[in-house]
A = this chain, B = another copy of it.
Amino acid sequence: MDILDRRIIDQLRHNARAAYGDIGSVVGLSASAVKRRVDRLVASGVIRGFTVTVDPSVEGLLTEAYVEIFCRGTVAPEELRRLLESVADVVDAGTVSGSADAVVHMRSSNIGALEDSLEEIRKATNVDHTRTSIVMSRLIYRE
């Protein structure tokens, strides 16, 4: 993982379907050298995968929320992970410092689906209560 790998990743992030030769001409390598490095980055897990970014509104997933989870007593992160993994609408989540135990970013097709997912989280043992901020308008989208 050197500066060339980083520059290749920068190029792929910009366009994951770019030709290896084109990437090579930018970073200063031949096409085959670029391919070898990309293969290695994928094999080593640095590159998790190649995906498309889709307009969320077109996808029908326009109801988003940030949810703070407050637990009873002490809850192991692994326990929270197991709980949130089973909820499909969870986009990302992490345990946090501060008054809440975890923050969860959710994206659902509508308010009803969001409520259902929230209920799944709330009914879990150890979850005391949640504090939900419904997203009204998306400002930045760089995921």
Tell me the A1-26 residues at the B interface (CB within 8 Å): 1, 9, 12-17
Task: Tell me whether B96 and A139 are in contact (CB under 8 A).
Answer: no
- CB of A97 closer than 8 Å to a CB of B: yes
Could you tell me the dominant secondary structure of chain A's interface residues?
strand
Query: For A124, what are the chain B residues with a Cβ–Cβ distance below 8 Å?
Result: none
- CB of A142 closer than 8 Å to a CB of B: yes
Task: Tell me whether B97 and A134 are in contact (CB under 8 A).
Answer: yes
- CB of A81 closer than 8 Å to a CB of B: yes
Q: How far does the Cβ of A101 sit from chain B's closest Cβ, in whole Å?
A: 10
Query: For A92, what are the chain B residues with a Cβ–Cβ distance below 8 Å?
Result: 105, 138, 140-143
In the bound complex, how far is the Cα of B143 from the Cα of A136, in angstroms? 20
